[in-house]
Structure 1
Amino acid sequence: MLDRRQSARDKVMYGGVAGIGEGGTTRDCVVRNISDSGARLEFDNVVKPPREQMSLRIARRGRSFLARVIWWRDNFVGVAFSAETPFELPVSDLDERLRKSEIKKRQLERRVKQLLGEG
């Protein structure tokens, strides 16, 4: 299978917040893989992302991106980062939401380990 990506993506599991609507509408997501030029996002349920651009904040990387939606299927979205430098989002509760997202991710990881008998 031909990979059309400009750079290889690293498999990760980062908490993120995506700005997917006008008026500052945001949704929590999980970044499943990432590279310098794009990422694959997973949402809790089916999502229809904006057609043009969305914002993405990744707490673990401490960065924000403008991203262009390349594809989406059910609750998965593939995005390409804009060539512009990362920017800061003007949302006041964003840091708190990211912190909660990271806590939820750690709880989920612990639960998976328990279920697999590793913890």
Structure 2
Amino acid sequence: MSTATHHVDEHRGAPRRRTLMSAQIRYSGGAVTADCVVRNISDTGAKIDVSAGIVLPERFDLVIPQKNVVHACELRWRRAAEAGVAFLDATGQAGATGAPAALTPRTTPTEDALKARIRQLEEENARLRGRIVELGGA
């Protein structure tokens, strides 16, 4: 193994396996979602590809339907469209068992949560339009 590869591996809690799985980032109680691709994964974290324009919070859920799991994640790094995440559930911080949660209907936002998020976004949109007018924009 090369020195460079060995150095990178030293920062990881577990070896990563290359993969190409569709996944979804969810936060704000499931009201905000973004599609992503899991590029590599281990028992303790993953590297994901997500559109560079998507803002990621410090903590979110990573839903991986192909593995039938939802991992509670912490963002560790971000470079353009790539991000590294640590699984909080792998370290015991997200649940008593330390195991990832199974993919269940609870991960789907309720209709009320979606309506509340739409109202919030409409209010923010109206506020921003007002601000544009104040600044002399169209």
Give 1 or 2 for the bigger CA radius of gyration.
Answer: 2
Query: Which ranges of 4 or more aligned residues in structure 1 deviate by more than 4 Å?
Result: none
| Pairwise CA distance, 1:6 | 1.2
- Among 73, 77, 91, which residue is 2:83 paired with? 77
Structure 2 match to 1:86: 100
Instruction: Please report the TM-score for the alignment, with normalisation by the length of structure 1.
Output: 0.68
Count of residues in Structure 1 that have an aligned counterpart in Structure 2: 91
Point out which structure has higher relative CO (alpha carbons under 8 A, 6+ apart).
Answer: 1
Tell whether the 8 Å contact from 2:47 to 2:83 is kept in structure 1 after alignment. yes
Structure 1 match to 2:132: none
| Pairwise CA distance, 1:71 | 0.2
Tell whether the 8 Å contact from 2:34 to 2:54 is kept in structure 1 after alignment. no
| Pairwise CA distance, 1:29 | 0.5
Q: Deviations over 1:13-44 (max 9, x none)?
A: 0010111x425201010000000000001013
Structure 2 residue ranges without an equivalent (≥5): 92-97, 110-138
Between Structure 1 and Structure 2, which shows a larger proportion of helix residues?
2
Quote the sequence identity (%): 27
What RMSD, in angstroms, separates the aligned Cα atoms of the two structures?
A: 1.8
**What SS class does the counterpart of residue 46 from structure 1 fall into?**
coil
Instruction: Please report the TM-score for the alignment, with normalisation by the length of structure 2.
Output: 0.59
Structure 1 residue ranges without an equivalent (≥5): 94-119
